[in-house]
Amino acid sequence: MFGLATAAARDKSRGMVPSANPSLAATLRLASPEATERLAVALANVLAPGDTILLEGPIGAGKSHFCRAAIRHLLSREGFVEDIPSPTFTLVQTYVLPEAEIWHADLYRLTNPAQIVELGLEEAFETAITFVEWPDRLGTATPRNALHITLSTEAAEDLRIARILATDPRWNKLRALLPADIVGIPDV
Ligand SMILES: Nc1ncnc2c1ncn2[C@@H]1O[C@H](COP(=O)(O)OP(=O)(O)OP(=O)(O)O)[C@@H](O)[C@H]1O
Ligand SMILES: [Mg+2]
């Protein structure tokens, strides 16, 4: 379903990543917006309350595209069809499901770190399923048990490389989803 990225492509993926000994590390080749949607849906299927996904990458990398696909799937699984507006100006959008809330944050325009508490994000990290675009704005509020996904744009227009990293054992549940041969590859 997802292709193995080249070492050269992996070299390009940078960003804020867990410091040492990732318990899970995978690099995926997302050849089209639909491939990104498939990854988002596969991931959404194993998410539980308290799971936070931090999406890094430049403008237009596909962070919102990923979040929308995941949230649309989580809602439709429960029989809900809703618009999934961008939180660009509101900073957060929330959705209430019987089992959990879904929070979608876009922190690009966050001006003051105090807003993180005011928005209720710290509590959401504990209790909700939370997606965060531009998570570098979180600073010390970055949840240590989050899944990090860094999307990079490539020369080919519709190609994105996704670098997936986690240190918390809660994400071992992704091992069944990701092709075995790319789980646990060392950082390059
Ligand atoms: N493989 C791909 N995965 C995801 N999006 C892709 C891919 N190829 C092309 N695209 C397109 O790239 C665009 C990504 O836009 P999106 O709003 O998701 O970016 P973003 O990372 O959220 O940017 P921003 O930082 O401005 O919020 C969309 O128009 C999408 O259709
Ligand atoms: Mg976005």
Question: 142-187, pLDDT tens digit by residue?
Answer: 999 999 999 999 999 999 999 999 999 999 999 888 765 444 434 3
**Bigger pLDDT: 91 vs 21:** 91
pLDDT tops 70 at residue 109: yes
Residues with CB under 6 A from ligand 1: 30, 32-33, 35-36, 57, 59-65, 133, 158, 160
Domain count, the chain: 1
| CA 141/CA 109 separation, integer angstroms | 16
Is residue 124 included in any domain, yes or no? yes
Q: How many angstroms does the Cα of residue 67 sit away from the middle of ligand 1? A: 10
- Is 176 domain-assigned? no
User: How high does pLDDT run on average in the chain?
Assistant: 86
Q: What pTM value is reported for the model?
A: 0.88
Q: Is residue 184 part of a domain?
A: no
Q: What is the arithmetic mean of pLDDT over 93-115?
A: 95
Q: Which of 28, 54, 64, 154 to mutate to test the pocket of ligand 1 (most atoms within 8 A of CB)?
A: 64
Ligand closest in space to the Cα of 134: 1
> In Å, how far are 93, 98, 126, 152 from 52, measured between CA atoms?
15, 18, 9, 20
Please check whether residue 64 lies inside any domain of the structure.
yes
Range of the domain at 136: 3-171
| Residue 180, domain member (yes or no) | no
**Is the pLDDT at 11 greater than 80, yes or no?**
no
For residues 104 and 76, the answer to whether their CB atoms sit within 8 Å is no
Sign (positive or negative) of CA dihedral 75, 76, 78, 79 = positive
Quick check: 6 pLDDT over 80? Answer: no
Q: Residue 102 maps to which CATH number? A: 3.40.50.300
Q: Is residue 77 assigned to a domain?
A: yes
Evaluate whether residue 178 is within a structural domain. Answer: no
Tell whether the model's pLDDT for residue 4 goes beyond 90: no
Identity of residue 148 = H
CA distance 94 to 3: 32
Instruction: Please give the Cα distance from 134 to 5 (Å, whole number).
Output: 23
179 belongs to a structural domain: no
Q: In which band, very low, low, confident or very high, does the pLDDT at 19 lie, cut at 50, 70 and 90?
A: low
